[in-house]
Amino acid sequence: MNTLIVYYSLTGTTQTVATALGRKLEADVEALHCDRYTPDWRGMLRAGYDSWRHHLPALARVRHDPSNYALVIVGGPIWTFHPCTPVRAYLQQERTRLPQAAFFLTHGGSAGERCLREMETLSRHAPVATMVLREADVKGDRYGAAVTSFADSLRRAESKVAA
């Protein structure tokens, strides 16, 4: 399946997952870029405030057109019980150009299922598969089995569509 993985990562946790998933699926991988947030305390405070206030930031132009892919996987961290604002901005901007979609999230606390539903609403796409990973599991290198399971779910979804 022709697959694109689009993700946002401020601290590198989500990037680790996106990179591993990209290798498993032999997919194109693209990071979302947003100059508004930085990994220092000021940037993180701004990120939390924007997330809470539903302020969507401007994103740098993406290199890959999602409409050129059969599946687009979108991932990012959870900020203040919502998908991070760059992911929300991307889903809202690209929702008319997304083919099938899948979602993944990384988090330090909770709200994974709620955030997945929010991503579905923003994109107007029911995901073919989802994955939620705790930051501690990623940093502790205990996420490989979840990534493999997610990739397998995506392959099963592809085979159902092809049949």
In this predicted structure, the answer to whether residue 160 has a pLDDT above a threshold of 70 is: no
Band the pLDDT of 157: cuts 50, 70, 90: confident
Identify the pLDDT of residue 111: 81
Question: Which CATH number do you get for residue 141?
Answer: 3.40.50.360
Identify the pLDDT of residue 110: 77
Q: Are 31 and 56 in contact (CB under 8 A)?
A: no
Find the domain containing 47 and state its range: 3-162
- Across 116-125, average pLDDT: 95
pTM for this predicted structure: 0.93
Q: How many domains does the chain have?
A: 1
Q: pLDDT over 70 for what percent of the chain?
A: 97
Q: What is the pLDDT of residues 56-109, one digit of tens each?
A: 999 999 999 999 999 999 999 999 999 999 999 999 999 999 999 999 999 988
